[in-house]
Amino acid sequence: MTKADGNLWQTTVQEQIATSPLSGDVTADLVIAGGGYTGCSAALHAASAGLSVRLLEAETIGHGGSGRNVGLVNAGLWTPPEAIAKLLGETAGARLSSILASAPELVFSLIDRHAIECEPVRSGTLHCAHSPAGLKDIQERHRQLVAQGAPVRLLPAEETRQRTGSGRFHGALHDARAGTVQPLSYCLGLARAAQTAGAQLHERSPVLRADYDNGTWRLKTKQGSVSAKHLLVATNAYFSELKGIEPPQSIPISFFQMATTPLGHNLRQEILPGGEGCWDTATVMSSFRKDKAGRLIVGAMGSLDDFGGGSHRAWARRKLRALYPQAGEQPFEHAWFGRIAMTSDHLPKILRIGPNGYAVFGYSGRGIGPGTVFGRAIARAVAGEGEAAFPVEARDAHSERFIGVKQRYYELGVTLAHIAAR
């Protein structure tokens, strides 16, 4: 294996923005902590509605999950619609499912409108059945999604083989609404569009404290402060440093990816010729897709920095050989990972953190569409619609139990699964 040199998306990023750290004391209508999809979408939509916006990002735009993910622009959540309705009640569940069903439409229309250079491919996603039980799972998802009117199709094993280029699957669920992007470029493109709309973005500006007094939030950084009536904390699994705000509670789950060198012409025609983004039905799920240059990218749960790092890397090689014997020895040239903010019910949350203050988090591995939608909802709420704009009801508290124990349990579980997998 060639030496892994980090995050592919940073190497192939097409979008760029220029910002400077916050300095001095300024005011705004809305102040946002965190420059991922949620924060950048909120900034874009609030500025477009005529509000003054300051966004403070601790590192650089897309430093968190938004610059590290697989790039699958999915419709809906991981949890199927009927389970969402059970958790939230019929009306609230149907509302959330219907809003998120059109999340890819929002993402791809923003990409078009703002000419975001992010390798968009809208040929759908394939949820691939790795076993007979997995086939039952996608058949059930198909039934529920068809009842929602979604343009999904069950592909037989042979068509799945033709589309994926792998003979390992028993069938697949194709969702025509979905697609893929270069995730960091999409995030930076949102940030650029937000700047063009008038939002002021500041990278390298970690928010150190937040205080609320007399109708105003005051967020302090090392060299300045922003005072604003409205606050959005959009730090998801990457919350750091911020005193005065209780960290929103979720279980941080690591997910890693490894990308090969670009495939040769013949393999590119054979493997995912239509460019769909894929994942499978295994309990320890894995993802695979190609990028624009024809690199094959495989991913799965696990941290490359933890005790399981070596096992995860060895698993990726075996996975590649099993899925694509014809490309099994293609060298890996990039390896990276990120943190997913998982909630116990796998549903995203909007938390009231004080008057006119919200934290949005917990996309549980489905944040490209939902983050864009929830960011827009916050902007609409601030622009006058209030909480009626939210896709889920805002809540006053959210707690998760045994966060550290669950995090270790997942990491140990996926490490053992990757050691055992042949």
Ligand X SMILES: Cc1cc2nc3c(=O)[nH]c(=O)nc-3n(C[C@H](O)[C@H](O)[C@H](O)COP(=O)(O)OP(=O)(O)OC[C@H]3O[C@@H](n4cnc5c(N)ncnc54)[C@H](O)[C@@H]3O)c2cc1C
Written in H, E and C, the secondary structure of 349-406 is: EEEEEECCEEEEECCCCCCHHHHHHHHHHHHHHHHHHHHHHCCCCCECCCCCCCHHHH
Q: Does 38 bind ligand X (CB under 6 A)?
A: yes
Using alpha carbons only, give the angle 182, 327, 365 rounded to the nearest 5 degrees: 35
The reply to whether 70 sits near ligand X by the rule CB under 6 A is yes
24 forms bridges with which residues in the sheet? 224
Asked if 81 touches ligand X (CB under 6 A), the answer is: no
Tell me whether residue 234 or residue 417 sits nearer to ligand X (CB atom): 234
DSSP string across 157-201: HHHHHHHHS-S--S-EEEETT-EE--HHHHHHHHHHHHHHTT-EE
CA 268 to mean position of chain CA atoms: 26
SS3 category, 305 = coil
The answer to the question of residue 302 lying near ligand X (CB under 6 A) is no
Decide: is 414 part of the binding site for ligand X (CB under 6 A). no
Q: Which range of residues in 56-64, 159-167, 311-319, 322-330 is near ligand X by CB under 6 A?
A: 56-64
Q: Is 366 in the site for ligand X (CB under 6 A)?
A: yes
Residue 72: C-alpha distances to residues 121, 257, 290, 293, 298 (Å): 10, 13, 11, 17, 13
Q: What is the DSSP letter of 262?
A: P
Of 195-203, 332-340, 389-397, 398-406, which part binds ligand X (CB under 6 A)? 332-340
String of contacts with ligand X for each residue 7-36, x by CB under 6 A = --------------------------xxxx
Among 93, 134, 189, 371, binds ligand X (CB under 6 A): 371
Binding of residue 340 to ligand X (CB under 6 A): yes
Answer for which of 19, 195, 225, 235 binds ligand X (CB under 6 A) is 235
* Residue 359 lies near ligand X (rule: CB under 6 A): no
With CB under 6 A as the contact rule, the residue among 71, 134, 171, 275 that binds ligand X is 71
Instruction: Specify whether the CB–CB gap between 190 and 116 falls below 8 A.
Output: yes
DSSP string, 210-231: EEEETTEEEEE-SSEEEEEEEE
Does 248 participate in binding ligand X (rule CB under 6 A)? no
Q: Which two tokens stand for residue 184?
A: 């960091």
Comparison of 88 and 219: residue with beta carbon closer to ligand X: 219
Residue number of the CB atom closest to ligand X = 367
Applying CB under 6 A, which of residues 17, 234, 320, 378 lies at the interface with ligand X? 234
CB 407 within 8 A of CB 251: yes
Task: Name the strand (E) or helix (H) holding 38.
Answer: helix 37-48
- Please select the residue that binds ligand X; options are 93, 252, 338, 357, rule is CB under 6 A: 338
Which of 363/390 has CB closer to ligand X?
A: 363
Judged by CB under 6 A, the chain residues 101 through 120 that form the site for ligand X are none
Build a one-symbol-per-residue string for 191-210: x at contacts with ligand X by CB under 6 A, - elsewhere. ---------------xx---
Is 373 one of the binding residues for ligand X (CB under 6 A)? no
**Region from 2-10, 43-51, 237-245, 263-271 binding ligand X, contact rule CB under 6 A:** 237-245
Give the Cα separation of 249 and 113 in Å (integer).
35
Instruction: Tell whether residue 228 is a contact of ligand X (CB under 6 A).
Output: no
Question: What's the min distance (Å) between Cβ of 245 and ligand X?
Answer: 9
Number of residues that bind ligand X (CB under 6 A): 43
Query: Which residues share a beta bridge with 155?
Result: 172
Spell out the residues 6+ positions from residue 388 whose beta carbon is closer than 8 angstroms to its own: 381
Site membership for ligand X, residue 65 (CB under 6 A): yes
Residue owning tokens 């939608």: 373
Residue 64 contacts ligand X per CB under 6 A:
yes
Residues at the contact surface with ligand X, assessed by CB under 6 A: 33-39, 56-59, 63-66, 68-72, 74, 206-207, 234-242, 255, 338-340, 363, 365-369, 371
